[in-house]
Amino acid sequence: MTRRRLSQRQIERIAQIQERRRERLACQVQRIIEADADGRVEEGRVMARHGANLAVADAEGRLHHCLTRQNIGHPVCGDRVVWQATGLGQGVVTALLPRGSTLSRPDYSGHDKPLAANITRLVVVLAPQPEPTEYLVDQYLVAAEHIGVDALIALNKMDLSQGAAERAFLGRFAPYARIGYPLISVSARHDQGLDPLREALHDHVAILVGQSGVGKSSLIQALLPDLEIQVGRLSEATGLGRHTTSATTWYRLPTGGGLIDSPGVRSFRLGRLGRAELERGFRDFRPYLEHCRFADCHHDQEPGCAIKEAVARGAIERARLASFHHLAAQSPHSYQEIRV
């Protein structure tokens, strides 16, 4: 469905409404702080957010329903924050700590809106159906490189392919393992191959991305056997109620670390990438980038291109170079949208 473009008047009206909401929230937060100026201050992590409501976990893992000061920015799921207790299970976030990574999506005006923070692993989920493309995979991997997180590829629904079809599917994506992206075959439906995935996520903060229909929800349920219990605790502790399941949420993995689920998210952005940044997003290009004859080589028709020579030798897959050209053609200075 084509997204309806908002008029400038509509955008300004939305901005005014949001500003009035922020002002009311700031007044509410200030009243809470003034009422309990002696509240203790400590660090915590944002486990979920819905509007002005934050679920913050303290050092012992206890959950607290918090509001946030207006002038500190916009905390998102995964953020490390400083917060001040204002009552039993209640508090106010007073500072936002530096982020190690930020995953974003476009807002109504096309600006980047942070979605989740401090992710350390991006899991690209593929399946025989819907039919994946190397171009789509490469977009996800460039995004992971750009925001500075590790990536792996989970081949889900492998029970749907057998014999020659299974070997062909595995062989098709085997080159990614050779350039450093772990490849894990799983079947969430039949609980097969999940142990290697659990091990790969151990002590990581992970998020699953992939086309609709590849089985992300089934994988999340398989990785989180106590999912309903965690949802219930979040709902009870924070008062988010039914909104808990529609908010971007951090769940604790049984093996350590966390899994961020973002059921309402359809896309995130690579960010504004120039050609040099896009090149660096292809990790198999990096050993050759300084060896082209021309400093501004586009790796297309230029003579003495080290990237094309590496492709001819089989050191770089042709499909990877094709993906690079496809992404570069979208405009090297524009946003690239990635479907989740």
Domain co-membership, 92 together with 116: no
Which residue type, as a one-letter code, is found at position 85? A
Domain co-membership, 190 together with 134: yes
pLDDT for 269 equals 58
The last residue of one of the domains, among 240, 267, 294, is 267
pLDDT for 229 equals 86
> Could you tell me the residue range of the domain that residue 322 belongs to?
269-339
Q: Phi and psi of 209, rounded to 5°?
A: -130, 155
Residues ≥6 apart with Cβ < 8 Å to 31: none
Domain co-membership, 164 together with 203: yes
Q: How many helices (H) and strands (E) does the chain have?
A: 9, 15
Question: E strand or H helix at 122, and its extent?
Answer: strand 121-126
| CB contact at 8 A, 201 and 207 | no
Domain co-membership, 284 together with 234: no
> From CA 69, how far away is CA 29, in angstroms rounded?
6
The last residue of one of the domains, among 96, 111, 138, is 96
Domain co-membership, 213 together with 289: no
Taking residue 14's Cβ as centre, other Cβ atoms within 10 Å add up to 14
> From CA 317, how far away is CA 313, in angstroms rounded?
9
Which DSSP string corresponds to 177-229?
Answer: HHTT--EEE-BTTTTBSHHHHHHHHTT-EEEEE--TTS-HHHHHHHH-TTHHH
Give the CATH number for residue 312. Answer: 1.10.40.50
Domain co-membership, 148 together with 253: yes
In a domain, 1, yes or no: no
Domain co-membership, 85 together with 213: no
Domain co-membership, 214 together with 275: no
pLDDT for 43 equals 94
Mean pLDDT per 10-residue run, the chain (340 residues)? 56 63 54 52 91 88 89 91 90 93 75 86 90 87 91 87 81 93 87 88 92 86 88 77 69 92 62 82 94 92 94 95 89 49
Domain co-membership, 62 together with 164: no
In a domain, 3, yes or no: no
Which residue type, as a one-letter code, is found at position 196? P
Give the CATH number for residue 53. Answer: 2.40.50.140
Domain co-membership, 88 together with 140: no
Q: Looking at the 3D structure of the chain, how many domains does it have?
A: 3
pLDDT for 21 equals 58
Domain co-membership, 109 together with 218: yes
**With 0-12 CB in 10 A as exposed, 13-18 as middle and 19+ as buried, what is 19?**
exposed
pLDDT for 335 equals 45
| CB contact at 8 A, 108 and 123 | no
3-state secondary structure of 251: strand
89: left (phi over 0), alpha (psi -120 to 50) or beta: left
The last residue of one of the domains, among 30, 65, 96, is 96
| CB contact at 8 A, 196 and 190 | no
The beta-strand segments (E) located in 205-246 are: 205-209
In a domain, 2, yes or no: no
pLDDT for 255 equals 85
Domain co-membership, 213 together with 128: yes
